[in-house]
Amino acid sequence: MRNYRHIEVRPIAGALGAEIHGIDISRDLDDDVIVEVRHAFLDHLVIFLRDQKVAPHQQVAFARRFGEPMEYPQLKGLPEAPLITPVVKLEHERNNFGGIWHSDTTYLAEPPMGSMLLAREVPPCGGDTMFANQYLAYEALSDGLKQALDGLVGVSSSVKAEVTKTREDRLKAAGAEHKVLSAEHPIVRRHPETGRKALYTSEAHTAHIKGWTEKESLPLLRFLWEQQVRPEFTCRFRWEVGSLAFWDNRCAMHNPINDYHGHRRVMHRVTLAGDTPR
């Protein structure tokens, strides 16, 4: 285990996830503190902070210590903070935003490195988010399947029916034009900082394997999608107002649970630019 001098790191599950204590992101944090937070982020794939009382510009400033914030490709940000995307489900809505296992916007040529989500309003119960470790999902595969996956490329699309449904309320409310976005990425990617291999596909975005038909692709993809979210590879986080989650899209997937109909949930997300998966 890594030794930390400036923060306290408490793992929440065996597979991934840790709460970070001892920092207030509304303040200008020392570089030494940021270095330790980044170590925890890389070690645990998703980190959580509690009781953060911050204005939108302070959330963006904290995010900038780890990367370059980018605009979400389908929706506009807050008027006072364009780099913050509101992630909202209202009392009358049935679909929640992104309510399926996925890594964010893999239909972009350079998908985001990470995402930082801050809870502004939460339901009295429900609305948890689950996360899954894609290093472990890959490492648990047989050597034969690892060899078979080497070189395979997945074609990601923004218009798969499952994920389109989870965005329809917000797109309609914003009057947004729905653009079709597509990109190709390896089914197994190597993390640019840790060097570890991770599965990089999802039911939400992967339409088929490059050079294969959808019918040919689905048996293998469905096996991988089930592998990716085996319970022993996951953790679950319960939100409170002021909770912040920061996850690594390059090696972790997430799934917001849609179990709070009739209640409002409002989150503010900052997305950090990434690179081309390899």
In a domain, 1, yes or no: no
Catalytic-role residue among 44, 167, 250, 254: 254
State how far the Cα of 188 lies from the Cα of 139, in Å rounded to an integer.
Answer: 11
State how far the Cα of 160 lies from the Cα of 112, in Å rounded to an integer.
Answer: 19
We report the CATH number of the domain holding residue 225 as: 3.60.130.10
In a domain, 278, yes or no: no
Output the average pLDDT for the chain.
94
39 given a catalytic annotation: no
In a domain, 116, yes or no: yes
Residue 249 has pLDDT above 80, yes or no: yes
What is residue 229's three-state secondary structure? coil
State how far the Cα of 12 lies from the Cα of 222, in Å rounded to an integer.
Answer: 28
The boundaries of the domain holding residue 115 are 8-272
Q: Which two tokens stand for residue 263?
A: 């209640």
Q: Which residue has the tokens 């699309």?
A: 157
Task: Give pLDDT, residue 17.
Answer: 98
208 given a catalytic annotation: no
102 given a catalytic annotation: yes
In a domain, 169, yes or no: yes
Backbone angles phi, psi at 215, to 5 degrees: -65, -40
- How many domains in the chain? 1
Task: Give pLDDT, residue 182.
Answer: 96
Q: Is the dihedral of CA 41, 43, 45, 49 positive or negative?
A: negative
CA 52 to each of CA 62, 120, 217, 238, 277: distance values in angstroms, whole numbers, following the listed order: 12, 10, 44, 15, 32
Catalytic-role residue among 170, 205, 265, 269: 269
How far from chain centre, in Å, is Cα 213?
28
Stated pTM of the model = 0.94
What is residue 215's three-state secondary structure? helix
259 given a catalytic annotation: no
Catalytic-role residue among 44, 102, 250, 268: 102
In a domain, 12, yes or no: yes
Residue 10 has pLDDT above 60, yes or no: yes
Catalytic-role residue among 44, 104, 170, 191: 104
Going by the DSSP 8-state scheme, the letter that residue 45 receives in this structure is: S
